[in-house]
A and B are shown apart, each in its own frame.
Chain A
Amino acid sequence: MQIREVPVTNPHGLHARACARIVALASHFRANVCLVVAGRRASARSIVAVMMLAAAVGSTVRLEVDGPDEQAAMSALVQLFDQGLEQRA
């Protein structure tokens, strides 16, 4: 399992479209992706759960990726966060 912590930098935090990009990206991989914010976890399979994490700008998201292609999945996710979640997945 890979674990990384990434900051949320875009002004509206994990808004609906940002969540959609995370969920869409995660669906390309076989690995299970979990997001943890302030102790609350959400599976990247559920956009509603990710939205409800309510990660505002300045918060930190812990990415937990577990599965055969976890390395590729993690680097793709980290890149998405680095781009301020604006890049289309």
Chain B
Amino acid sequence: MNVSFALHGIGVSGGIAIGRAQLVSHAMLEVAHYNVPAKQVPAEIERFDAAVKDVQLELEALHRAMTSGDVPGEFGAFLDVHWMILNDPTLSEVPKRIIAEQRCNAEWALTQQLGVLVEQFEQIEDAYLRERKADVFQVGERVLKRLMGRPGALRAASAEEQTIVVAHDLSPADVIQFKHHHFAAFLTDLGGVTSHTAIVARGLNVPAVVATHNARALIRDGELLIVDGNHHVVIVNPDRAVLQEYRLKQNELDLARQKLKRLRSKPAQTIDGVHVELNANIELPDDLAQAIENGAGGVGLFRSEFLFLNREGLPTEDEQFEAYRQVAEGMGGKPVTIRTFDLGADKSKEGLDGLARVAPNPALGLRAVRFCLAEPRLFLTQLRAILRASHYGKVRILIPMLASVGEVDQTMALLEQAKEQLREQDIPFAPDVQLGGMIEIPAAVIAMGSFLRKLDFMSIGTNDLIQYTLAVDRADDSVSHLYDPMHPAVVKLLAMAIGTANKASIPIAVCGEMAGELPMTRLLLGLGLRDFSMHPAHLLNVKQRVLHTDLSQIVPIVDRLKRADDPARIAALLEKLNA
């Protein structure tokens, strides 16, 4: 019997999951080195060949799965590269020679050869080409994992046996792959409330506990875990009584979820009859189904930069057009707001090799609209693709991270250029496509008047607005506790932005995480917000809250909260608001 113990972290996505641990790791770190008797060298070589063969079949199976599904052809090309690398003699033959010469185990031989190859890549001057070592490394790692007795592809969890991912940290590229598996929960050593793990877990509606510091080291593969996202706790190897109790709690939560589903087609209206727009944030066209299932009134934020992740090179105009058109058509005339690429900063770490630039302070560097304006060709391609899609539904364009009005002017000039080109080519588009801007920088709130005169609508990105107002990096474990949506300065900026836009009769939405957080719903309503955009998983919860809200009762409380400066008083008023 394994020892039962508990781990504490930050529960970033609620709910309870019970399942087996699956450790996600970099295999290279754990390679053993031992000598093989001369007699067993042929068997060791055979073991290596078998692992290579297994990975080969695995890649081929993946390729078939891709080509049968609606995955972009580029992903297949990426697999082709891996298949070729696998079959390259430097990877499939040289390690066998090393096994024979050094009489060592296959893992060790492969690790040595990978080291040699990676070192050679390191000497390449061109940064982009140098980074291609990642492909060689990934292929090598797949073979290593095979050799070490664990398959490279994450086995999909079956209904009876739930699987819980345990990792040191997860990158955006990792989590996007997890969307297709049905994992019961996520556990990571690092991370905070707004980390990508958190956002994706909430989106998938599965519990997640992050910042556990050493879960990855303490938990062993296959151990039974209970993850309680509501109480920030993980129980490893629970005894029977604890397990029983958690199964009961889990059932109660499921029942509550079933109840919510009945609200799907009910209009979102407060008790005193004020209508509220509830829209969905999506990342890929695939997310549309979930949005519709949860009764979204439209797409309030299509994070187009996700078309870049997990691929090499840029998506072409046609590929982008296809993705945008699919969403525009899918929503059947309901508004679809496409945010232009928000690249740079945290999202550029992986998968965007061609675009990643090392900046001393990426959050304050070349990202979002700044990046797009610095790469006008890339931007023009995207604007053309969006315009083309506007012919097939009600499409709106949203510019991320505005700081000054010159950025609006430049974007409008490029948009005009894109329209001109399409007209010349006789390609149809909606001539009256609306253009909006994201309020994420305090400067944009303070100088909002200049934007309101030029734009059709505004949208507040609360995650970045909080990060830039408080100068707190939300991904930095050591300061993430200072990231406070209820900081008086944040509340005042929100009040100012919503108030200014309402006065000018320009529609304003909130599309940050805050829009989907239940304790914030009444605060935002009280500040005058009538348009929320959030992950589809939160739509019904928020709708339920709207249905139970009487504006005449909450506005006086929010007015007091707006003026408050003392954190304790703010907390008390927020509690009163949600009582």
Chain A residues in contact with chain B, CB under 8 A?
12-17, 19-20, 23-24, 45-49, 51-52, 54-56, 88
Residues on A with C-beta less than 8 A from B70 are none
- B132: chain A residues at CB < 8 Å are 15-16, 51
For the complex, give the distance between the alpha carbons of A23 and B129 in Å.
Answer: 17
Across-interface contacts of A17 in B (CB, < 8 A): 77-78, 80-81, 312-313
A54 and B124 in contact (CB under 8 A), knowing A13-B129, A48-B90? yes
Sample of 4 more A-B contacts, CB < 8 Å, known A20-B80, A24-B84, A48-B91:
A12-B129, A13-B126, A15-B129, A88-B77
Interface string of B61-99 (1 = CB under 8 A from A): 000000000000000011011001100111100000000
Complex CA–CA separation, A52 to B132 (angstroms): 9
The residues of A that contact B354 with a CB separation of less than 8 Å are 12
List 9 A–B pairs whose Cβ atoms lie within 8 Å, in order of A's numbering: A17-B78, A20-B81, A47-B81, A48-B90, A48-B136, A51-B129, A52-B124, A54-B125, A54-B129
Asked whether, in the complex, the Cβ of A54 is within 8 Å of the Cβ of B130, the reply is yes
Complex Cα–Cα for A14 and B124 (A): 12
**Distance A17 CA – B80 CA, assembled complex (angstroms):** 8
B78: A residues at CB distance < 8 A: 17
- Interface size counted on chain B using CB atoms at 8 A: 25
Identify A13's interface contact among B80, B128, B135, CB under 8 A: B128
Instruction: Report B299-339 CB contacts with A as 1/0, cut-off 8 Å.
Output: 00000000000001100000000000000000000000000
User: Smallest CB–CB gap between B96 and chain A, Å?
Assistant: 16
Question: Which listed residue (A12, A23, A46) contacts B128, Cβ 8 A?
Answer: A12
* A72, chain B: closest CB distance, angstroms: 22
Q: In the assembled complex, how far is the CB of residue B63 from the closest CB belonging to chain A, in whole angstroms? A: 13
The verdict on B117 contacting chain A, using a C-beta distance below 8 Å, is yes
Beta-carbon contact of A12 and B313 below 8 Å:
yes
Total residue contacts A-B, CB cutoff 8 A: 66
6 closest residue pairs by CB, A with B:
A54-B124, A56-B126, A47-B84, A48-B90, A48-B88, A20-B81
Quick one: closest A residue to B73, CB to CB?
A: A88
Q: Which residues of A contact B135 (CB under 8 A)?
A: 16, 51
Q: Give the chain A neighbours of B88 by CB distance below 8 A.
A: 46-49
In the assembled complex, the Cα of A49 lies from the Cα of B89 at a distance in Å of: 10
Could you tell me the distance between the alpha carbons of A13 and B90 in the complex, rounded to whole angstroms? 22
> Does any Cβ of A come within 8 Å of B121's Cβ?
yes
> Does B120 belong to the interface (CB within 8 Å)?
yes
**B:89-119 near A, CB below 8 Å:** 89-91, 117
Min CB–CB distance B393 → chain A (angstroms): 31
Secondary structure class of chain B's binding surface, majority of residues = helix
Question: Is there contact, CB below 8 Å, between B120 and A52?
Answer: yes
Within 8 Å CB of A49, what residues of B? 88, 90
CB distance from B388 to the nearest CB of A (A): 21
Least distance between A76 CB and chain B CB atoms (Å): 18
Is B81 within 8 A of A46, CB to CB? no
Contact B121 A15 (CB under 8 A): no
Q: Measured between alpha carbons, how far is A12 from B91 in the docked complex, in Å? A: 24
| Closest Cβ–Cβ distance, residue B44 to chain A (whole Å) | 23
* Residue of B with least CB distance to A89: B80
Q: Roughly how many angstroms separate A12 CA and B356 CA in the complex, as a whole number?
A: 13
Min CB distance, B16 to chain A, in Å? 43
The reply to whether A16 and B120 contact each other, CB–CB distance below 8 Å, is no
Contact among B84, B130, B312 with A23 in the assembled complex (CB-CB below 8 Å): B84
Using Cβ atoms and an 8 Å threshold, which residues of chain A touch B121?
Answer: 51-52
CB within 8 Å for A46 and B89 given contacts A17-B78, A54-B129, A56-B126: yes
Q: How far is the CA of A54 from the CA of B121 in the complex (A)?
A: 9
A76 to B313, CA, bound (A): 24
CB distance from B252 to the nearest CB of A (A): 51
The listed residue with most A CB atoms (<10 A of its CB), out of B90, B125, B129, is B129
Cα(A23)–Cα(B77), bound, Å: 13
The residue in A16, A23, A49, A54 that gathers the most chain B C-beta atoms within 10 A of its C-beta is A16
- Chain B residues numbered 174-223 whose CB sits less than 8 Å from any CB in chain A: none
Chain A residues, Cβ within 8 Å of B312 = 15-17
Residues B120-171 near A (CB distance < 8 A): 120-121, 124-126, 128-130, 132, 135-136
Please indicate the chain A residues that have their CB under 8 angstroms from the CB of B80 in the complex. Answer: 17, 20, 24
Chain B residue numbers with a CB within 8 Å of A14 are 129
Nearest neighbor of B80 in chain A, beta-carbon distance: A20
**Chain A nearest Cβ from B339, distance in angstroms:** 26
- Report whether A54 and B84 are in contact in the complex, using a CB–CB cutoff of 8 Å: no
CA of A87 to CA of B303, assembled, Å: 29
Which residues does chain B contribute within 8 Å of A13, judged by CB atoms? 126, 128-129
Which residues does chain A contribute within 8 Å of B89, judged by CB atoms?
A: 45-46
Q: Are A54 and B77 in contact (CB under 8 A)?
A: no
Query: Nearest Cβ in chain A — how far from B441, in angstroms?
Result: 31
Q: In the complex, which of the residues B90, B124, B130 contacts A46, with contact meaning CB atoms closer than 8 Å?
A: B90
Across the two chains, which residue of chain B brings its CB closest to A46?
B88
**Whole-angstrom distance from the CB of A28 to the nearest CB of chain B?**
14
Contacts of B77 in A (CB 8 A): 17, 20, 88
Closest to B74 in A: A17
Contact of B85 among A45, A48, A56, A88 (CB under 8 A): A48
> Chain A's nearest CB lies how many Å from the CB of B537?
35
A30 and B195 alpha carbons, distance in the complex (Å): 52
Q: Give A12 to B127 CA distance when docked, in angstroms.
A: 10
Contacts of A12 in B (CB 8 A): 128-129, 313, 354
A77 and B200 CA atoms in complex are apart in Å by: 44
Q: Which residues of B contact A16 (CB under 8 A)?
A: 81, 132, 135, 312
On whether the beta carbons of A48 and B126 are closer than 8 Å, the reply is no
Q: Smallest CB-CB separation from A51: which chain B residue?
A: B132
